[in-house]
Amino acid sequence: MLTILFVLFSVTCAGQNKQLLYDFNEVPQSLMLNPGMATSFKWYSGIPLISGISFQAGSSGITSNDLFAVDGVDFNTKFREKVINGMSFKDELSGTYQIELINIGFRSRKNNNVFYSFGAYNEGDAIGYYFEDYAQLAYEGNTNNLNKKFDLSHLKTRGEILNVYHFGINKRVSNQLSVGIRAKLYASFLNFSSTKNKGYFLTTEGQNNVFRTTLDADIEIKTSGIFELKNVLDDDAVANGSGISSILTKRALLGGNLGLGFDAGFTYNLDQRTTVTASLLDVGFIYHTKDTRTYSLKGTASTEGIAFFIPADINNPEDQWRNLVDELEALVPYTESSENYLTFRPTKLNASIRRDFGKQIESKENCYCTSSVGGNNRGQVYKNSFGAHLYAINRPRGPQAALTAFYQYRFGTIMSLKSTYTVDKFSTTNIGLGGSMQIGAVNMYLMADNLLSYRNIADSNYASIQFGFNIISWGKK
């Protein structure tokens, strides 16, 4: 049952790459992906709660269509072939969402080359790897798997929901270079982590019994922020809605587990039409001290089961069973504690190179009117851009990377479109399209990934959408 739930969860998971938004300078939210991007805004204000919303879904293992397609194949057969024998412990199941609560930026009155930004957003992020050996042991049992070591390290998962409060400084150092840094304060709502497990489960032929079973375990699961919510749900004297709302409000207002982090980035013009960028995001940690639970199973034990001696033990089998259980619990103790623990944020790396070409669009930055935005540190904007973008994120089994080729076309000062082709762990046919439209001071953007999969969502390994609304002023410097 646990295996089936994990598989169903896998078809609603995702990665964190935002290749359509990165270096899309027409949209203020791209500053969140590179605090050192070239900025042309005088000021901007995201419309609260709808300025930046993103959801992503995907799986590197199977799709729902693999299991539930009406193709005449028995479900048990598909489950055995696609899941038990088809998925690997390297298959990654990850997901994220992000909702901006507030996002504001403004240019310094004292130094026109300095741009400030601040705000807050709510984010959820989770990752799990398919626990291959656990699933095989549960599905097939150990009788037909003699001498096979079932690897307990296949259990790797982590996840969290948190608010992030941030303040950033962006500075145009010269016509060639812009740099930026952003400080972050993390307020965790809940967290779970189990990433450093090791050990094995082994069955061999016994000497005094049919089988000999050995367990060598070092398993640990850490959680925070979960049981306080569970207690509210279990308490009939407290209204669930108001009780949970009170807890979450307290945690959002920095009354829960806190952490610190930063982002950094730059934009550099190699020449008038060639630009390179890079950013490092979420270099930080959260220290969990409140509502924490740590569950661990550590030790080594071997047993051949219960040996009965007739007639001495025929009347007291319960004693034999209790002695066996006590012995195993002493050798492989299960413990529960409330100790503090530290988690690190999933750090992300972006890097890109862009080549502009075609007709130059007239810059209107020096007037009190709506203007085009984007371009390079000199404020030059061209109709066409193409390039490549590299993305990587730190994960429990090592970095996950994606490589994107992109093309962007600008329709004067009104609209800009960007298309992408991305290769990553989830798909090799990921084509995306994003657009930004400027109507007066109102900016609207909509971006979607893996468009070819929309013909059959059930057979898709990945899907993503981002959208938002902003009020922007470029004005006179």
Contact 37, 25 (CB under 8 A): yes
Contact by Cβ (8 Å): 96, 124? yes
Q: Is the pLDDT of residue 6 over 60?
A: no
199 contacts: CB under 8 Å, gap ≥ 6: 152, 153, 215, 216, 217, 218, 219
**Number of domains making up the chain:** 1
| Better-predicted residue by pLDDT, 440 or 362 | 440
The residue ranges of DSSP E strands in 346-441, in sequence order, are 348-361, 381-393, 400-411, 415-424, 430-439
More confident residue, 370 or 440: 440
Residue 383 has pLDDT above 70, yes or no: yes
Higher pLDDT: 127 or 421? It is 421
The answer to whether residues 186 and 166 touch, using CB atoms and an 8 Å cutoff, is no
Residues of the domain holding 131: 2-473
d(CA 362, CA 80) in angstroms, rounded, equals 61
The tens digit of pLDDT for each residue in 23-32 reads 999 999 999 9
The mean pLDDT value of the chain amounts to 84
Mean pLDDT lowest among 80-84, 165-169, 286-290, 332-336: 80-84
> For residue 459, what pLDDT is reported?
60
> Do 15 and 98 meet the contact criterion of CB atoms below 8 Å apart?
no
The helix or strand, by DSSP H or E, that contains position 101, with its residue range, turns out to be strand 92-107
Report residue 396: phi and psi, to 5°: -55, -30
Distance CA 450, CA 421 (A): 9
Q: What 8-state DSSP symbol labels residue 177?
A: E
Residue 10: pLDDT above 50?
A: no
Task: Report the pLDDT value the prediction gives residue 95, as an integer from 0 to 100.
Answer: 80
DSSP H or E segment with residue 262: strand 257-269
- Residue-wise pLDDT for 250-266, tens only, equals 999 999 999 999 999 99
Tokens of 286: 């959260």
**Section 329-347 average pLDDT:** 89
**In the chain, what's the furthest Cα-to-Cα distance?**
102
CATH of the domain at 115: 2.40.160.40
Per-residue pLDDT of 298-328, as tens digits, reads 998 887 765 544 444 445 555 545 665 666 6
Strands (E), 273-399: 274-288, 292-303, 334-337, 341-344, 348-361, 381-393
Check residue 64 and give its pLDDT.
65
- Judge residue 368's burial from the number of C-beta atoms within 10 Å of its C-beta, 0-12 exposed, 13-18 middle, 19 or more buried: exposed
Buried b or exposed e, range 78-95, using 16+ CB within 10 angstroms: bbeebbbeebebebbbbb
